[in-house]
């Protein structure tokens, strides 16, 4: 399945990263799985640990998945992106707001409005699953054409001149 998001009105293709795993540390602790943030893992904002998948055994991966502790990891060129369960929608007009509101009930996954203000909305998938956020954000952008419908990503950009580092 092709994964993508929109930025500045352009469709940006993503590649799933099967070598890395992003783990919500709080959910992992609740599941009884300790994920070490030591080298070569990285502690990211939002309580996320980015680690090589090979550092975790299959039983721990299954427990983490069952607990909802795994976050999708994607690549765009050399940048690593971890999707979080939040979508920010911005409006330029009342027409865009109305179009977005009309699109929400028919989104591919149930959506909850977690914040609403004059210029936009913050949405969360009702499932709480980060993997649903791309489909919801893309659907809203493609159906309603707001100024923006963006998944909240944590991005890891390698230092210039360093190859293979994330």
Total-model pTM: 0.84
* Residue 11 confidence (pLDDT) above 70: yes
Least confident window among 34-38, 55-59, 143-147: 34-38
Rounded average pLDDT over 136-141: 96
* CA–CA gap between residue 14 and residue 146 (Å, rounded): 21
- Give me the pLDDT at residue 158, please: 76
Q: Is the pLDDT of residue 37 over 70?
A: no
What's the pLDDT at 161?
A: 56
Q: How far apart are CA 12 and CA 116, in angstroms?
A: 26
Q: Which pLDDT tens digit goes with each residue over 90-136?
A: 999 999 999 999 999 999 999 999 999 999 999 999 988 888 999 99
- pLDDT at residue number 14: 94
Give ∠ CA 82-87-91 in degrees, rounded to 5: 140
What is the separation of C-alpha 157 from the centre of its chain, rounded to a whole number of angstroms?
Answer: 16
Tell me how crowded residue 22 is: count the other CB atoms within 10 A of its CB: 27
Of 34, 20, 26, 135, give the one whose Cα is nearest residue 85: 135
Minimal CA–CA distance to 13: which of 117, 118, 138? Answer: 138
């Amino acid at each position: 399945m092709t994964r993508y998001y929109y930025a500045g009105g352009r469709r940006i293709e993503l590649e799933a990263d099967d070598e890395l795993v992003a783990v919500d540390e709080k959910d992992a602790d609740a599941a009884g799985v300790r994920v070490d943030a030591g080298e070569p893992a990285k502690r990211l904002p939002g309580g996320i640990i980015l680690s090589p998948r090979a550092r975790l055994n299959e039983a721990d991966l299954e427990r983490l998945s069952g607990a909802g502790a795994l976050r999708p990891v994607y690549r765009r060129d050399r940048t690593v992106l971890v999707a979080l369960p939040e979508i920010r929608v911005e409006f330029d007009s009342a027409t865009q707001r109305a179009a977005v509101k009309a699109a929400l009930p028919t989104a591919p996954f149930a959506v909850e409005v977690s914040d609403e203000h004059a210029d936009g909305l913050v949405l969360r998938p009702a499932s709480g699953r980060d993997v649903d956020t791309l489909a919801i954000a893309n659907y809203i952008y493609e159906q309603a054409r707001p100024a923006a419908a963006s998944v909240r990503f944590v991005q890891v950009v390698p230092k210039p001149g360093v190859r293979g580092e994330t």
